[in-house]
Amino acid sequence: MAAPKSHTPTQSHRDAPAFPSLPVCPLLCQHRDGCAGPTPSPCGIFGFPMWEGAQSYVRTPRGCQTHPALLGIKLPVLLLAGQRCCTFSQVRTALGSVPSTAASINPARMGTVTLELSLLTVALLLCPATAMLRIGAFNIQSFGDTKMSNKEVAEIIINVLRRYDVVLVQEVRDSDLSAVTQLMEQLNSASTSQYDYEISGPLGRENYKEMYLFIYRTDVVSVVDTYQYEDPQDVFSREPFILRVSAPSTKVKEFVLVPLHSAPHDAVAEIDALYDVYLAIINKWGTDNMMFLGDFNADCSYVQPSDWPSIRLRTSDIFKWLIPDSADTTVGKSDCAYDRIVVCGSKLKRSVLSNSAGIYNFQRAFQLDQEQALAVSDHYPVEVKLAA
C-alpha cells in the first residue's frame, strides 16, 4: 500500500516589477534568443538586449551584427522594449532620461543615436494596444538554493522565466521557500511590472517531495481560485495543484491550468488519470476550458506507441495535444517529447494562436555548451500563446 502523501497549505507572495504585455512591434523587437545563426529569429530593424550588459544587434544581409550606435548606451527604453512593445507614456518617460546618459555617448555618434531614438518612438507608436498571453512550463531540475546560489545559472533561469506571462515551474525542492523568495526578488528587480506566485505544498510519497510553482504577471493575469486535487485512488505521485485564472485581455477570459510532473514509470497511468481530473474540475467549477501542462514523461521508454490507446487524454477528441510526439524537450543526448501542453474547451482551443506552441531552446538562445545547459536543467520549457 502506498505511503500517504502530505500537503501543506497553499502559499502566495507579492513582490515588484515585468515587461508590459503588448504585442510584437513591426519595426522593433527584443532579441530574446541572442545572436545564434545567420538569421536571428524575432528581430526587426533593431534588437535590444534583455539583460544589462548584453550586446545590441541589428539584422543585416550578412546576418546578426553588433549595432555600433547603441554600444555603451544604457537607456530605460532598451529594457522596456521587449518582444512586446511599450506604451507611449513609458517611451516618453524613458526618453526623458536621455540627457543624463548623453555624456557617455561619443559626439560623433550623437546624430545616429538621435535617429535611432526617433525611429524607436515611431516603432512603439505603431504597436496595437492588445497582446497575446504567453504561457510556459519549465521543469527546472531540482530547483532550490543550489541553483539560485549559482549566479550564472540563476541569471539564465530569470531570463527564461521572464519570457512568460504565466509559467509553471516543476521540481521545486525548497521547503522553506528561500530559493523561491530569492527567485521572485531577482525576477521583479529585473522587470518593469509585477510578478506574483502560487505554490503548492510539498507533494510526493515517502521522503521525496516536490512543489508546483506558478509565476504570473499581475497586470495581465489574476488567480480566481486554487484546487489541490485529492487523488482518491492514489494514482499520482504529485497530484495536480490547479489554478483557475482570469486573463481579461484574452479571447477565453478565464481558464484552468492543470500541472503534472509524472513519476516516469507511472507516466501512462498518471496521464490517463488526468481525464478524471478533467471531470472533477467540471464538477467543481463548471468549466471545460483547461490547459494541462508539464513534464508528463510522455515519450521514449515511459510512454511507448502501444500505450497511447489506453490513455483517455489522448484518445478522446475533446483534447488537443499542442506539443507533438516528434518534439525533443530534453537538453541531453536523448530525443524525447517528455514535456507537453494539452488543451480542451471550445473557447480555449479557439484562443490558441496557430503555430505558437513549441519548445524554447535556451541552450541555443544563450549560446551555452552542453555542460552549461545541463547546469540549468535537463529539460527545455514548452510554451504556447493565447490570442487577445
Tens of each residue's pLDDT in the chain, 388 residues: 444 444 444 444 433 333 333 333 323 333 333 333 333 333 333 333 333 333 344 444 444 444 444 433 333 333 333 333 333 333 344 444 444 333 444 555 555 555 555 555 544 444 443 479 999 999 999 999 999 999 999 999 999 999 999 999 999 999 999 999 999 999 999 988 899 999 999 999 989 999 999 999 999 999 999 999 999 999 999 999 999 999 999 999 999 999 999 999 999 999 999 999 999 999 999 999 999 999 999 999 999 999 999 999 999 999 999 999 999 999 989 999 999 999 999 999 999 999 999 999 999 999 999 999 999 999 999 999 999 9
> What is the model's pLDDT at position 357?
98
Residues 136 and 116 in one domain: no
Q: Is 31 a catalytic residue?
A: no
Beta strands in 298-347 (DSSP E): 320-321, 339-344
Q: Is 254 a catalytic residue?
A: no
DSSP state of 221: -
Query: Does residue 7 lie within any of the structural domains?
Result: no
Query: Does residue 3 lie within any of the structural domains?
Result: no
List the one residue out of 256, 264, 326 whose CA is nearest residue 295: 264
Residues 136 and 110 in one domain: no
- Dihedrals φ, ψ of 78, to 5°? -65, -30
Q: Which of 116, 198, 210, 239 is catalytic?
A: 210
Domain end, chosen from 75, 98, 125, is at 125
d(C-alpha 101, C-alpha 123), whole Å = 22
> What is the model's pLDDT at position 170?
99
Q: In b/e form, how buried is each residue of 271-283, taking b as 16+ CB within 10 angstroms? A: bbbbbbbbebbee
**Contacts (Cβ under 8 Å, ≥6 apart) of 362:** 156, 160, 368, 373, 376, 380, 381
> What is the model's pLDDT at position 131?
72
> What is the model's pLDDT at position 89?
38
Query: Does residue 138 lie within any of the structural domains?
Result: yes
Residues 234 and 372 in one domain: yes
User: Domain span at residue 41?
Assistant: 28-125
Residues 106 and 177 in one domain: no
Domain end, chosen from 125, 155, 185, is at 125
> What is the model's pLDDT at position 361?
97
Query: Does residue 61 lie within any of the structural domains?
Result: yes
Report pTM. Answer: 0.71
How many domains is the chain built from?
2
Residues 118 and 237 in one domain: no
Query: Does residue 23 lie within any of the structural domains?
Result: no
